[in-house]
Amino acid sequence: MTRILLLGFGAIGRQLTGLLQPEVSSGRWALQAVVRDVEAHEARGSLGVELHSNDGSHSNDGWRELVDRADLVVECAGVSAARDLGPGVVAAGRDLVLTSVGALAYPDTRAKLLQGPGRLHITPGAIGGFDLLGAAAEADGLAAVRIRTRKLAGSLVQPWMSAEEAADLRALRPGDEPKVVFSGGPADAIKKFPGNVNVAVALAWATRGTGDSATALERSLQRVQVELVADPDAELSSHDIEASGPAGRFRMRFESAPSPENPRTSGLTAISLAHTLRRVAKSAPV
């Protein structure tokens, strides 16, 4: 039996649990999750997942023990949790699947996550086409890579925004002009919008090309251009990717149904994560 430990059990963790029922109900995989408030999660329904607390009252030893007992750890909690707890997972020799890929934009976290001995797996999440983009980048075939993400204005309000900025976003109504809330590189974007632009860092990862992963990603993060748009007419989140260079010109658009539990998260993220887990489990018995 493969023991999978989820870090976080929100919209993605819960949808993922449903998607993994074939493996779970056949007894091949067992799921545990680390949450901050076990009672609150039990009230929402534990979906057959064994819940453990990470509310700060438990010693780090409790978390470490869970990691040691797991075959694979899957982060789906957020950039901050990924930065705090991810490095310890790979240092303990466990494989880690990262959903909050934005954690890789921080040089210190990136170095630790890529250091091993546990292996780091990146899920493409709410976007795709990484096979094509990765191949083109490896052949030095890309000179420019852009992503434009559109989301409902309310889902882009951040704690650091002034009351006026937040109110302006919330006041956007269908028919109003879309508002560009960020334009720049993925590293700055993820600092400002940690729950919205993990895809931009994942795109940089996919197009890093060859060579040492940390250095290649650093270069790739400089190349990717991000635009984040509050779109009052958006019914779904969308991601438009354009990559061009000697290999050609590639355009892709992703518009997935929202997560059933969190309208700011694309439902494709958990679907993609389930696929990543199956691929990881097949490539190496964890």
Ligand X SMILES: O=C([O-])CC(=O)C(=O)O
Ligand Y SMILES: NC(=O)C1=CN([C@@H]2O[C@H](COP(=O)(O)OP(=O)(O)OC[C@H]3O[C@@H](n4cnc5c(N)ncnc54)[C@H](OP(=O)(O)O)[C@@H]3O)[C@@H](O)[C@H]2O)C=CC1
Can residue 198 be called a binding residue for ligand X (CB under 6 A)? yes
Assess whether 239 carries a catalytic annotation.
yes
CB atoms within 10 A of CB 191: 14
The reply to whether 198 sits in an annotated binding site is yes
Candidates 134, 107, 106; CA nearest to 198 is 106
Integer Cα distance of 95 and 102 in angstroms: 18
Of residues 117 through 156, those in contact with ligand X by CB under 6 A are 125-126
CA distances from 39 to 30, 43, 57, 142, 202 (A): 21, 6, 14, 49, 33
145-172 b/e with 16+ CB inside 10 Å = b?
Answer: bbbbbbbbbebbeeeeeeeeebebbeeb
* Shortest CB 233 distance to ligand Y, Å: 21
Can residue 207 be called a binding residue for ligand X (CB under 6 A)? no
Active-site residue, selected from the candidate residues 58, 121, 239, 275? 239
Tell me, what DSSP letter sits at residue 37? Answer: -
For ligand X, the closer of residues 9 and 63 by Cβ is 9
End-to-end Cα distance, the chain: 10
User: Interface with ligand X by CB under 6 A: which range of 112-120, 140-148, 263-271, 277-285?
Assistant: 263-271
* Shortest CB 259 distance to ligand X, Å: 7
* Shortest CB 246 distance to ligand X, Å: 28
The reply to whether 126 sits in an annotated binding site is yes
Whether the CB-CB separation of 147 and 203 falls below 8 Å is answered with yes
* Shortest CB 165 distance to ligand Y, Å: 21
Which region holds residue 130: left if phi is over 0, alpha if psi is between -120 and 50, else beta?
alpha
Contact residues for ligand Y, defined by CB under 6 A: 7-12, 34-37, 54, 76-79, 81, 99-101, 125-126, 194-195, 198-199, 202, 259, 262, 265-266, 269
Active site residues: 239
Q: Residue positions in the annotated binding site for NAD(+)?
A: 126, 198
Contact residues for ligand X, defined by CB under 6 A: 125-126, 195-199, 237, 265-266, 269
Q: Residue positions in the annotated binding site?
A: 126, 198
